[in-house]
Structure 1
Amino acid sequence: MGRIILLLLFVLAAYLVWKAFGPSTWKKREVEQPRAIKGPDDDEEFLWNLEKERFKQRRAQEAEEEKRRQRRNRGTDGEKD
């Protein structure tokens, strides 16, 4: 009885090893498909460009606010003199 169980375990182990490392898995390793871009949120370059544009807009807005503050400060300084 013990020999039959041992034989079944050996056959099961061989089967599992064949499924895990057999020829059907070799094809998957050789052909690596590039990642398909499905939309703009998957495209890294698009997201990077979008982030750069937002950064530029934020910098322009900050520069404009700084100019307004400087003008306001010059206007109040001129009234005191």
Structure 2
Amino acid sequence: MAPMGRILLLVLIVVAVILVWKAFGPGTWNNNRKNVQGPATPQIKGPDDDENFLWELDKKRFKERRAREREQKKNEDEK
């Protein structure tokens, strides 16, 4: 019975070494160096991705709405 336990223990150790090698082996070393530069800035692909453009649209709509409201109030006051 003792040799069977030793064989099982040896197989488990070999499996553990293989898993650790796959997780932290030389194949993963290059991936870590690529991340040293930091996260890449997102590329703007269209106007709907550009936050400044969207902000300017919102400001423009807000100003136009305020101007219409002022015009309506002015017309109501004249009546």
Q: TM-score, normalised by structure 2?
A: 0.74
2:36 to 30, 35, 59: 30
Aligned to 1:55: 62
Residue pairs, 1:1-81, within 5 angstroms: 1-18=7-24, 22-31=28-37, 32-72=39-79
Give secondary structure in 2 for the equivalent of 1:41: helix
- The amino acid of 2:59's aligned partner reads K
- Residue by residue over 1:5-32, the C-alpha shift from the partner in whole angstroms, topping out at 9 and shown as x without a partner, is 312321233134216xx31221231123
In structure 2, distance between residues paired with 1:53 and 1:60: 11
Unpaired segments ≥5 residues, structure 1? 73-81
Q: Percent identity?
A: 36
Unpaired segments ≥5 residues, structure 2? 1-6
- The amino acid of 2:16's aligned partner reads F
In structure 2, distance between residues paired with 1:27 and 1:57: 51
In structure 2, distance between residues paired with 1:30 and 1:24: 10
Of 10-19 and 46-55, more deviation after overlay is shown by 10-19
Q: TM-score, normalised by structure 1?
A: 0.72
